[in-house]
Amino acid sequence: MTQSPQLTAISAEKFSGKAWRRYNGYAFAARENLISLVIAELAKAVPAMPLGFVQIGGGFQLVAITAIEPGVNLFVAPDGRWLGSYVPAALRGYPFRLANVEGRKESILCIDEAAGLVVESGQGEPFFDGTGRPAQAVKDVLDFLSRVERNRMVTQAAVDALAAAGLMQPWPLSIKQGKQNVAVTGLHRIDETALNALDNEAFFTLRRSGALPVAYAQLMSINQLAVLQQLAQIQAKLQAQVSTVAQKLAGLEGIGLSQDDETLKFY
């Protein structure tokens, strides 16, 4: 079960005697079927997964679609492996995150303590070096997240321009539940007919705003819905393998074998 984030600002006072471990899988994203994207990663995201838009507040956000069904991420295997060819940048900074603080212009670097990756000194990478300054690995994370955030602002301006041009339309997708097809609501796509019908002034306005690459990327990525179907089949096979192993382990109960800390011990 995914825990709610427990964000704590990284300060020398709280973390100078602590260390952190890098994540070793993507189980933390196993229930994320929509993941935010930025323009800088479109070239790698388009061949890997379908893209779309979701409405948040009064605007739209560009997202990678990792499953049509909420609470499911087909790209995350049961053991936490990522099954696709590209991992969105929004996941690669985990367990760190930038947070805005009222009254401060700059964002501050935080870590999700609920991730269980904060450890004692010597058991991972230090937060601070011997001089009390942020360690290089922490500075690298901050730089990465800052670059993503700057690009997110550029991306949002482009998405806002597409919406202002009237190019967002509901995406009529459905999932099969039992013998019925159930409509999925909330996802949007680019209205290709409306895009092609734009007059020169509106088209050049979108080009100047940098919005056209986002529109074309989303349209091209629609073909990647087939990837979700392929991943669903892979997931079914993986789940069957997990069930088989679980049944075999259950069959060992009572004959002197037990599993402790992922190691079989003979009593």
Asked if the structure places residue 249 within a domain, the reply is: no
In angstroms, how far apart are the furthest CA atoms of the chain?
A: 79
CA 266 – CA 128 distance, rounded (Å): 43
SS3 (DSSP) at 210: coil
C-alpha to C-alpha distances, 4 to 36, 44, 49, 115, 142, nearest whole angstrom: 18, 29, 26, 9, 22
Asked if the structure places residue 233 within a domain, the reply is: no
Domain coverage including residue 142: 7-223
Asked if the structure places residue 73 within a domain, the reply is: yes
Q: What is the pLDDT of residue 126?
A: 96
Asked if the structure places residue 263 within a domain, the reply is: no
Asked if the structure places residue 137 within a domain, the reply is: yes
Asked if the structure places residue 169 within a domain, the reply is: yes
Q: What is the pLDDT of residue 178?
A: 60
Assigned token pair, 72: 């499911």
Q: What is the pLDDT of residue 202?
A: 95
Assigned token pair, 104: 């401060």
Domains contained in the chain, number: 1
The conformation of residue 76, written as its DSSP 8-state character, comes to B
Assigned token pair, 165: 């041009």
Which helix or strand (DSSP H or E) is residue 224 part of?
Answer: none
Asked if the structure places residue 236 within a domain, the reply is: no
Backbone angles phi, psi at 240, to 5 degrees: -65, -40
- pLDDT by residue, tens only, the chain of 267 residues: 456 678 999 999 999 989 999 999 999 999 999 999 999 999 999 999 999 999 998 899 999 999 998 999 999 999 999 999 999 999 999 999 999 877 677 889 999 999 999 999 999 999 999 899 999 999 999 999 999 999 999 999 999 999 999 999 999 887 765 666 767 889 999 999 999 999 999 999 999 999 999 999 999 999 999 999 899 999 999 988 876 655 554 544 544 333 344 333 222
Asked if the structure places residue 254 within a domain, the reply is: no
Q: What is the pLDDT of residue 243?
A: 64
Backbone angles phi, psi at 40, to 5 degrees: -60, -20
